[in-house]
Structure 1
Amino acid sequence: MADNYIPLRVNRDFGDIITTYFDFFKQNIKKFTNVFLSYNGIFLVSLLIASYLLVSGFIGLIAYESAPNNFATGAQLEEKYMIYLAAGGILFFVIFIMVLVLNYALASSYMIKYESTENNEFDKKEVWAYTKSQFGNILVFILLMIPIWFVFFIVSIIFAFIPIVGLFVQYILQFFLTSWLGVSFYDMLQNKKGVTDGLGEGWNLVTKNFWKSVGVNFILGLLIGILMMITLIIPGVLIGVYTFHVVENNVDYSTSVVSTVIYTLGTCLFLIIAVYGQCLSQFVNGILYYSLHEKTYNINTRIKIEQIGKSE
């Protein structure tokens, strides 16, 4: 075992889980980023194309609507921008689902390989091979997440009509759902179970440790969100300054190549950071999963006791 390996199968309390997450993050951020970029290349290019279509559609429609003689230009130009917008939206939705499936699995497989090898010296191809070996279950699981989140959305709307209390209930349900699905996904991949078995075990682990699961996802979700916002400060400021320049100097952004490039890159960067943030969030549930699993089954503790018995 490597000296700097962080044991994951440990029954940790709330504070220790948060501390362990950041220790794991610091140790593995470079290696996982390499995995992320290696297997997301084609999707990142696709997101760039989708961003271009969305930006071109939005800019074109805004310019068309604000033009004093827009009726004279005919409906053909408006239809062109609507096609851009629709094509960009459809492409983005398809790519988003594919990226969600891939990176939800890559982050989980990475942590599973880390735990099984007790180091981070494994090749990135091993992470992909582990993901590919269970791709069927992964796809079914992600598809099941869609109706589950849809039901949550309906329930959230209902609770939205309840002042104050409804808001708290919404957040509790949201972080419970995040914990349940994340922990279930890890159990399914780690033990190569079926989707329903994984969901059942995840439900068992999370409901028995309800407030710890909700609290960990709330605190670390908040901190990851702040980290992502900080990451977006520089490009956000640059885009804001450029937008101010456009407005103050009456730049014709509808025909400006620079405007299209800047807004396209800004949109694409935002989407990439959002996807990467999802990976970091899944690491949270990985550490939570191993902690809850060890608390329930004491696997690592039993192994250590057996080793002590053999050495004696």
Structure 2
Amino acid sequence: MQLYKSRDFSAFFADTFTFIKENGKHFFKHYLIINGVFLIVLAAIAYVFSAYFLQDVFNSAYGFETTNQFESIINENPILFALLILVFILISFLFAAISYAYVPIYFKLYEKTNSTNFETADIINSYKTNFGKILVFVFLGFLLAIPLGIAFGIAGVILMVTIIGILLIPLLIGLFSGLYNATLLEYLDNKRGFLDSFGYAWTIITSKFWHSVGCMGIFYFMAYIIQGSLSVLQSIFNLGATLTAPTINNLDEGDTESSISVLIVTIVFFIVYFMVSFIINAILQINQSIVYYGVKEDNDNLNLKNDIDLIGTSEA
């Protein structure tokens, strides 16, 4: 699939799904390989947390005797507990950075090879090469997000005054996220600094505002519907578990097993929701990357210049 191509609103949609159709198997295979280790670590931490804490919460809610294991760990090993929390935060932060950078790195390799002719080792090497840039992007991006968040927050409050304005909120979110994805894509080219890359991303995206931002916003709206549906299902399950939960005056031998079953299903549902959310976020970034290459072509005419160079070479 050709990345540098002038696209309109419908082409942004069509080419996003075309890219997933043609390269989705390769893309998500390596996405899971790169991020799988961190997912396992986070799942293990979540399991330990649930085993010592959530079980007591369920037992307390249902009127059973609690073990107070989690409270005992905190009281007896406060330093160890604080270190575990710090490690969890650092792992989560590192995972978020690696996960977010995956799509721009993948597209840069795809751009370089003009195909999916690269493997996990190539992606990891690209991470190593751009590790410093990723850290700078995360740090400066966080600082920049403070004034941007305030500005976009004020705009969001103003839009929420009317029903039409509320419908435009996904466009605002799409613009915010699309700017950051385009900034990292441009920053990885090693031609601009962070702020120059952000300024360039703003210029090219707003140059085709309704086409690019409209598409990214609608993708965000669709993602919200999917994630919202999963949240509704989880709420229905939690409500059912609450209504059928045993009380202190209505206990039998199977109640403990029942509470544990509810706990297990809740954890499984959380993991599924967690995985679906990451896949959806990856798809959103794919769409934002397709938008980036389309508006960049409109601004710089890179594909046209390459065609002219090829003509000149063939004539020589």
Contact residue 55 and residue 263 of structure 1 kept, 8 A: no
Contact residue 17 and residue 287 of structure 1 kept, 8 A: yes
Q: Within the alignment, does 1:265 sit opposite 2:229 as a pair?
A: no
Q: 1:248 Cα deviation (Å)? A: 2.8
Going from structure 1 to structure 2, the CA distance change for 1:82 and 1:258 (only over 3 Å counts) comes to farther
Tell me the matched-pair count.
300
Cα offsets for 1:205-252 (capped at 9, x unmatched): 12322222311211222334455678x59xx58x96697468536364
Q: 1:292 Cα deviation (Å)? A: 1.1
Contact residue 182 and residue 282 of structure 1 kept, 8 A: yes
Alignment of 1:297-312 (within 5 A): 297-312=300-315
Cα offsets for 1:64-99 (capped at 9, x unmatched): 2563888xx9xx567359899999976664443222
CA distance in 2, matches of 1:259, 1:88: 27
Q: Report the counterpart of residue 25 of structure 1 in structure 2.
A: 20
CA distance in 1, matches of 2:54, 2:300: 54
Relative to the length of structure 2, the TM-score reads 0.78
- Amino acid in the other structure paired with 1:268: I
Q: Within the alignment, does 1:79 sit opposite 2:71 as a pair?
A: yes
- Amino acid in the other structure paired with 2:27: F
CA RMSD of aligned residues (A): 3.7
Cα offsets for 1:15-56 (capped at 9, x unmatched): 111100000011111111211121223211122123324545
- 280, 290, 294: which one aligns with 1:277: 280
Going from structure 1 to structure 2, the CA distance change for 1:148 and 1:272 (only over 3 Å counts) comes to farther
CA distance in 1, matches of 2:151, 2:257: 42
- 161, 164, 169: which one aligns with 1:163: 161
Alignment of 1:90-239 (within 5 A): 93-155=89-151, 158=154, 159-160=156-157, 163-164=161-162, 167=166, 170-191=169-190, 193-226=192-225
Q: Within the alignment, does 1:41 sit opposite 2:39 as a pair?
A: no
- Amino acid in the other structure paired with 2:42: L
Going from structure 1 to structure 2, the CA distance change for 1:241 and 1:223 (only over 3 Å counts) comes to closer
Cα offsets for 1:247-280 (capped at 9, x unmatched): 5363645995444433223222322222232222
Q: 1:169 Cα deviation (Å)? A: 6.6
Contact residue 183 and residue 201 of structure 2 kept, 8 A: yes
- Amino acid in the other structure paired with 2:103: A
SS of the residue 1:9 aligns to: coil
Of the structure 1 ranges 148-157 and 266-275, higher mean CA displacement relative to structure 2 is found in: 148-157
CA distance in 1, matches of 2:313, 2:130: 36
Contact residue 34 and residue 120 of structure 2 kept, 8 A: no
Going from structure 1 to structure 2, the CA distance change for 1:157 and 1:111 (only over 3 Å counts) comes to closer
Q: Report the counterpart of residue 249 of structure 2 in structure 1.
A: none
Identity of aligned residues (%): 24
Q: Report the counterpart of residue 251 of structure 2 in structure 1.
A: none
- Amino acid in the other structure paired with 2:123: V
Going from structure 1 to structure 2, the CA distance change for 1:157 and 1:184 (only over 3 Å counts) comes to closer
CA distance in 2, matches of 1:81, 1:261: 22
Going from structure 1 to structure 2, the CA distance change for 1:168 and 1:92 (only over 3 Å counts) comes to farther
**Runs of 5+ consecutive residues of structure 2 not aligned to the other structure:** 247-253
- 4, 9, 33: which one aligns with 1:14: 9
Contact residue 179 and residue 213 of structure 1 kept, 8 A: no
Relative to the length of structure 1, the TM-score reads 0.79
- Amino acid in the other structure paired with 2:47: Y
Going from structure 1 to structure 2, the CA distance change for 1:243 and 1:168 (only over 3 Å counts) comes to closer
CA distance in 1, matches of 2:47, 2:93: 19
Contact residue 59 and residue 259 of structure 2 kept, 8 A: no
Contact residue 171 and residue 216 of structure 2 kept, 8 A: no
SS of the residue 1:160 aligns to: helix
Going from structure 1 to structure 2, the CA distance change for 1:228 and 1:19 (only over 3 Å counts) comes to farther
- Amino acid in the other structure paired with 2:197: G
